[in-house]
Structure formats: structure tokens, C-alpha cells
Amino acid sequence: MSITDRVKQARDRIAAACARVSRSVADVHIVAVSKTQPASAVSEAVVAGVEAIGENRVQEAAGKRPLVEGATPWHLVGTLQRNKVKEALDLFDLIETVDRAELADRLQLQLRPTTRVLPVFLEVNIGAEAQKGGVVPEGLVALAEHVVSHCPELQIAGLMTVPPYDPDPERSRPYFAALRELADRLARHLGLPTLELSMGMSEDFEVAIEEGATWVRLGRILFGERRPPI
């Protein structure tokens, strides 16, 4: 099946999930996560109309983005090291993985001499798993307050999470519901507009949509199995 057909199929499943909870399909966007896939596959996804391309490594995006035409924005969905901040800003339109004040400060420092405002998602380690990226739920308000008061060139546009791995998507549901709850409370607390929710991947995006996802990050169901690392 072509990538175009796979995107269509994903849209149908998104529409069905939206219908189950009376949400509008216009509120759910696809980030096509193209790690290990060649630039030609990314280009096909762009032509098929996905709303964003997602990569989790700066180095890999650097090799691909120049080969992909079109105005589709690119999202960084993997951990960002401080020494890659400058390069990441050249390659990505939105960073979904801001999870510590020190990283926000680094981004701010690089952005300050420009007039650019960078939309970011704060990544939440919703299961508070050891060794996993993301701020633990208890630390979210402090991180958000830091960004609001010290990083004027960063705009908190949403929250992102990867719940603890479980082959049964129903077991991810409480984590998705918890992220939504956190987002609602944070937006009220800081007086922010409604926050985007980046949650759900190939195995569990329908459940994530039922719980309020506005961005689903889809890799394998659009591109097929991952290739050996580039």
C-alpha cells in the first residue's frame, strides 16, 4: 500500500474515533514520524497532506529536511541535548520535548537576537518512569511558570507525552486522560489559551483521540516497519 493510501486509512480511523466522542476531525492533526525512513518517503507523506513531519534526532533531520519540499512544518519529537539546540532551531518549527528549565533557557538564549517566537510543547513523563524524558507531572507547573516568566521567545502551545509501554491501548487511556486534565489545569492556572495535546502513536492513537489528543504521532502505520538506523 502506498503512503498516500496509508494516510487516507489513518484519516478514516481518526474520523471514526472522533465520531465516537463527538469531536471534530478538524481538531486532530497527524505528525508523520519518519525516523529511519528516507527523504522520499517523507516527501510522499507531505504530498499526502499530513500536518507535520516528526523526527526524533537532530542529526537525522539535518540529512533529510533539505531533500523534502513543501511548507509542512517539522516537529522535534525526541530528546534535545543542549549542544544541539542551535542546529535544532534551524531545522524544526516546533519542539515537542521541552522538559527542563535549563533547556528552555538554552532555546531562549539562541532565539533572543531574532524576532522569532518558537512554539513548544512541554513533554510530560506521565507515568513518572525512571530513565524517561519529560518532566514529572508534579514538576509541570514550575517548568511552565519558568518558561512564561523567563523565556519570552518560547510560546507554550501544548503538552506531549509517551505513556508507559503497554501492548493493550486501553491501558494507556488513564494516562491520556491524566495529560488532558493536567493541560486543562495548567491553562487555567497560567491564563493560557487551550493547549494542544500531542499523544497517541500507531498502536493507541484512537484511544488518545477519545481522550482529547489534538496531535497524533504516527510512524509505522504510515511508513511501515522502521528501517535499520541511519
Ligand X SMILES: *Cc1c(COP(=O)(O)O)cnc(C)c1O
Binding residues for ligand X, rule: CB under 6 A, are 33, 35, 56, 77-78, 162, 201-203, 217-220
Residue 143 CB, shortest distance to ligand X, in Å, is 18
Instruction: Name the residue nearer to ligand X (CB basis): 84 or 220.
Output: 220
Residue sitting closest to ligand X (CB): 219
Beta bridge partners of 204: none
Question: CA distances (Å), 158 to each of 88, 104, 113, in order?
Answer: 19, 14, 24
Cβ nearer to ligand X, comparing 111 with 197: 197
Residue nearer to ligand X on the CB measure, 30 or 104: 30
Closest CA to 55 of 220, 227, 228, 219: 219
Is the CB of 38 or the CB of 190 nearer to ligand X?
38
Counting other chains too, the contacts that 52-58 makes at CB distance below 8 Å and 24 or more residues apart are 52/93, 52/94, 52/215, 54/96, 54/217, 54/219, 55/92, 58/84, 58/87, 58/88, 58/91
Element (H, E) at 143: helix 140-150
Angle between helices 173-190 and 140-150 (to 10 degrees): 40
Q: Quote the least distance from Cβ 54 to ligand X, whole Å.
A: 7
Query: Least distance in Å: CB of 223 to ligand X?
Result: 8
Minimum distance from residue 208 beta carbon to ligand X (Å)? 11
Instruction: State how far the Cα of 202 lies from the Cα of 10, in Å rounded to an integer.
Output: 9
Give min distance, CB of 216 to ligand X, in A.
Answer: 9
Q: Cβ 35 to ligand X, closest distance in Å?
A: 5
**Nearer to ligand X among residue 94 and residue 111 (C-beta):** 94
Residue 63 makes CB contacts below 8 A (sequence gap 6+) with: 39, 230
Question: Please, which residue, 85 or 162, has the CB nearer to ligand X?
Answer: 162
